[in-house]
Structure 1
Amino acid sequence: MELRVLRYFQAVVQNRNISRAALQLHVSQPTISRQLHDLEEELGITLFDRGSRTIQLTDSGEYFSNQVNQILALTDKTLANIHEDQDIRGNIVIGSSEARSFLNIAQSFTGLQKKYPHIQLDVISTNADQIRTSIKSGYYDFGVIMEPGDKTDYDFIRLPGESRWGLLVSNRSPLATRDHLELSDLAGEKLLISGQHGMREQLNDWLGGNTTQLNVVATYTLLYNASLMVSAGMGSALCLDGIINTNQSDLVFVPFQPRLTSGTSLVWHHGQHHSAAAEAFLKQLSSDIGQPLP
C-alpha cells in the first residue's frame, strides 16, 4: 500500500468526485480509478458505493478513510520534523509601501534568520502599482500594500495595526499649531499627494466627490522625498503617520478628525510557487501574528 495511492483515495473522498480529484492532483482520471480499484483488491473490501451519482463511502470505506487521514497527517508531521532542522538558503524579495506595520515583517524575519541564518531579505521601497507588476513578473516574492487595495488574483495576510492619515506640514505653517485638521482644511493648502493608482479616488471618496477645489502641486512615490519638498515650502503632504520622524525637524504631522486610518496587507500572487526561503518566511509571519495562511 503506497502513500501516493492513499493520497489519491483521500482526494477522492474530499472532493466526492474522481474528476475533481484528478484535477487537484494533476493526474488523469483513469489513473485514479485504476489505483482505487487495485486498492480495493489489495484490501479485499469495497470502499465506495458505486450505485450513487456521487462518490459515497461504504461503512468499511468510512472507517478506512478515518485511518488514512491519521496516517497521512502523521506522515506529513514526521516529514516536516525531519526537514525542520535542515538549513534553508536563498533570498526573499519584498516590495513595500511605506508603512509602520512593516515592523511586523522585520520582526518575523529576525525570528526566521535565527533558525536559518543564510536567508537574506531584499526590501524595495515602492508603491502598490509597481508591487503588483513585479509580483506578477516573479521578481518580487511578496508585497506590502496599503488598504484598501485591489487584491484580485492575490492571496494575502492582513498585518496588525493601522496608521492614521493627516498632513505633514512645515512648522512655519499656521496648521502646525493645530492638534487636528478637518478634510475641509485641504481646500486652502498646496498639496503633495501619493502618485499611486487609487489615491485621487480615495480623496474623492473622503470628500464626497468635491475635489475640484483641491490644489495638488506635486505627487510623490516615497514620503521622504515629499518631506524635503514640504521643508522647501512647496506645500503640505497628505500622508500616513509614523513614516517620517518629525522629532528635531522643521516638520509637524497633524492628523485628521474624524480619524481616517488604513491598514496593510502582505500579498502574493494566487497560485504562486514559493521558494523554500519564502515559504519559511510565510509560516514564520503567520505564526508570529496569529493569522492562518489562506
Structure 2
Amino acid sequence: MELRQLRTFMTTVKLLSFTKAANTLGYAQSSVTNQIQSLEEELGTMLFERLGKQIKLTKDGEHLYNYADQILKLADEAKDHIGNSLVPRGSLTIGTPESLCSYRLPRIFQEFRSRYPEVELNIRFDTSIVYRDHLRKNTVDLVFSLGVPSLETDLVTHVLFEEQMAVIAAPAHPLAKKSTVIPADLNGQALILTEPGCSYRQLFDSILTQAGVKPASAMGVSSNEVIKRFVCDGWGIGFLPQITVQQELLAGQLVALPWAGPAFNIKAQMHYHKAKWLSPALKAFIDVTLAMIPF
C-alpha cells in the first residue's frame, strides 16, 4: 500500500469520479483505475461499487477512508517535522462553532493569512462533542468551542474569554414585559435552540431540568440565523451568544430577557490534543490567537 495510491483513493472519494480524480491529479484515467484496483487486490475487497458511470464507497471503502486520512496527515507531519522547516506552510483544519467563526474569529484568520500566506486554512462546523472526537482521531488540528471549561486531560485547553449569553424573545412575547425571568418562567414555553450536541444547549437544558421546568416543545436548529428568524417571528424562546444577536437587539427585532436564573459561565476555548505535534503552522496559529486575545 503506497501513499500515492492512498492519495489517489482519497481524491476519488472526494470527487466520486475516476475521471475527475485523474484530471485533478494529472494522471491518465487508466492510472487512477489501476491504482484503485491494486488497492482492492491487496486488501482483498471492493472499495467502490460501480453503478454505470457512478461510483459509491462500500463499507470497507469507508473504513479505509478513515485510516487513509490519518495516514496521509501523519505522513505530511513527518515530512514537515523531519524537514525542520521554520516557515509555516501546508494546511490546517480548524473546527469551530458557527457563532465564533462568524463574529469572533475573522480577525484571527485575517491576521494569520496575512502573516503566513503559504498555509491553507480549512474551516469545519460541528458541535464541540464531535470536534473533540476529531481531535482524538487527528482529523482536525485545532478546535474552538463554547462551553464550561474543559476538564479532559488528553487535551490542551486555553480558556480565551467569557462569552455573554442571551435568552431571547420577540418584543411582543409575554415574557418580554417581565422585570426578571427565572427558569420557572419557561415552563410550558416553546424553545428554539441549537442542536442537542451543542455544549451551551446542554448547559441550558441542564439548568431547566434541575429547576423542574418542562417546556411545551424544543426545536433543535443547526443555524444561528434560522434560530434568530424563528424567534423574531414569535415561534418561541431562544438561547444564543449575545454577540450573535447584537444587531437584532439594537434594531428592536429581538429582546434579551432579564435572566435572573443561574449564571451560564460560558467560556470560549481553544483545544488541541496533548500528543499532537505542533507543526510550525499550528504553533504559529496558536501564537497568533493568544496574542490577539481578547478578540
| TM-score (ref. length: structure 1) | 0.58
Q: Distance in 1 between matches of 2:289 and 2:201?
A: 32
State the match for 1:236 in structure 2.
237
Q: Distance in 2 between matches of 1:115 and 1:199?
A: 33
**TM-superposed deviation, 1:100:** 5.4
Query: Given the superposition, is the C-alpha separation of residues 213 and 238 from structure 1 closer, same or farther in structure 2, using an over 3 Å criterion?
Result: same
Q: Distance in 2 between matches of 1:87 and 1:201?
A: 41
Does the residue aligned with 1:95 lie in a helix, a strand or coil?
strand
Q: Distance in 1 between matches of 2:115 and 2:201?
A: 43
Deviations for 1:72-97, whole angstroms, at most 9, x for unmatched residues? xxxxxxxxxxx99x643233221112
State the match for 1:225 in structure 2.
226
Q: Identity of aligned pairs, percent?
A: 17
Please tell me whether the aligned partners of residues 100 and 163 of structure 1 are also in contact (alpha carbons under 8 angstroms). Answer: no
Task: State which drifts further: 172-181 or 148-157.
Answer: 172-181
| TM-score (ref. length: structure 2) | 0.58
Query: Given the superposition, is the C-alpha separation of residues 219 and 103 from structure 1 closer, same or farther in structure 2, using an over 3 Å criterion?
Result: closer
State the match for 2:92 in structure 1.
92
Query: Given the superposition, is the C-alpha separation of residues 123 and 148 from structure 1 closer, same or farther in structure 2, using an over 3 Å criterion?
Result: same
Please tell me whether the aligned partners of residues 93 and 142 of structure 1 are also in contact (alpha carbons under 8 angstroms). Answer: yes
Query: Given the superposition, is the C-alpha separation of residues 98 and 183 from structure 1 closer, same or farther in structure 2, using an over 3 Å criterion?
Result: farther
Map 1:107-146 to 2 at 5 A. Answer: 107-146=107-146
**TM-superposed deviation, 1:143:** 1.1
**TM-superposed deviation, 1:280:** 1.1
Task: Work out whether 1:286 is the aligned partner of 2:287.
Answer: no
**TM-superposed deviation, 1:218:** 0.9
State the match for 1:267 in structure 2.
271
State the match for 2:159 in structure 1.
158
Query: Given the superposition, is the C-alpha separation of residues 249 and 89 from structure 1 closer, same or farther in structure 2, using an over 3 Å criterion?
Result: farther
* 2:163 partner amino acid: S
Matched positions, count: 206
**TM-superposed deviation, 1:263:** 1.1
**TM-superposed deviation, 1:141:** 1.3
**TM-superposed deviation, 1:178:** 4.7
**TM-superposed deviation, 1:266:** 0.4
CA RMSD of aligned residues (A): 3.2
Does the residue aligned with 2:257 lie in a helix, a strand or coil?
strand
- When Rg is computed on C-alpha atoms for both structures, the one with the higher figure is 1
Task: Work out whether 1:187 is the aligned partner of 2:190.
Answer: no
State the match for 2:174 in structure 1.
174
**TM-superposed deviation, 1:128:** 0.9
